[in-house]
Chain A
Amino acid sequence: GAGVSQTPSNKVTEKGKYVELRCDPISGHTALYWYRQSLGQGPEFLIYFQGTGAADDSGLPNDRFFAVRPEGSVSTLKIQRTERGDSAVYLCASSLSQENEQFFGPGTRLTVL
């Protein structure tokens, strides 16, 4: 069956621009997570959705970051006024519900020049 997919796989943008990263979870998975992974580090939690609502957004670094999941399936991570420090791999994961095994997508590599 289809796994978690993320688009684009790579995104290069200029400092100050706006970007959107998309995640398609596994069908039927109600829980969706966004993580950010910097080079040589483990992924760090950004935000968790249960259904359509953001159940925990405590990992978002600042108000330039925002994520939505309007229909409880696809999610979009939005970054305004990008900075060079935002460069990282953004990973999306989904699970049947909280406390279940999380399945990860291939990630979007964001480079801010």
Chain B
Amino acid sequence: KQEVTQIPAALSVPEGENLVLNCSFTDSAIYNLQWFRQDPGKGLTSLLLIQSSQREQTSGRLNASLDKSSGRSTLYIAASQPGDSATYLCAVQTGANNLFFGTGTRLTVIP
């Protein structure tokens, strides 16, 4: 069974700092990998989707990379802002069609 791990579990940074969130998965046979943002008590907002044939995707201050062979992905957030404070979830889609999620990294950006 696919297992997804995210480190760190929690991260606190001052405003303006660049940061990296890490995600690893055990089975490299994936279709794609998605990064989501979840605010407290809310649903999930899709941030970036990387297909298995791609190496990275960028959206604004966010950049996600994928190294399928080593089972790793990183989410890079540039020039962090207090509004970026949320839980970030990584999920991989396998041949079973459903997403396997990590437990998330809770990010706090301090003004």
Q: Which A positions have Cβ atoms within 8 angstroms of B?
A: 4, 31, 33, 35, 40-45, 48, 55-56, 58-59, 91, 93, 98-99, 101-107, 109
Instruction: Using known A-B contacts A42-B91, A44-B101, A99-B31, determine if residue A104 contacts B96 with beta carbons closer than 8 Å.
Output: no
A102 and B34 within 8 A (CB): yes
CB-contact partner of A56 in B4, B32, B36, B97, under 8 A: B97
Bound complex: CA of A1 vs CA of B30, how far in Å?
30
For the complex formed, measure the closest distance between the CB of A97 and the CB atoms of chain B, giving whole angstroms: 10
Q: How large is the interface on B (under 10, 10 to 19, 20 to 34, 35 or more residues)?
A: 20 to 34
Bound complex: CA of A40 vs CA of B87, how far in Å?
10
| Max count, chain A CB within 10 A of own CB: residue among B34, B42, B96, B99 | B99
A45 and B100 within 8 A (CB): yes
B43 and A55 within 8 A (CB): no
What are the 3 A-B residue pairs with the smallest beta carbon separation, nearest first?
Answer: A42-B101, A45-B98, A104-B44
B103 and A42 within 8 A (CB): yes
Chain B residues with Cβ under 8 A from A107's Cβ?
A: 42-43
CB-contact partner of B98 in A33, A41, A104, under 8 A: A33
CB-contact partner of A42 in B41, B89, B97, under 8 A: B89
Not counting A4-B43, A42-B101, A107-B42, a sample of 10 additional A-B residue pairs whose C-beta atoms are within 8 angstroms of each other reads: A42-B89, A42-B103, A45-B99, A55-B97, A58-B96, A93-B44, A99-B93, A101-B46, A102-B34, A106-B43
Chain A residues with Cβ under 8 A from B102's Cβ?
A: 42
Chain B residues with Cβ under 8 A from A109's Cβ?
A: 41
Identity of the chain A residue whose Cβ is nearest the Cβ of B49 in the assembled complex: A101
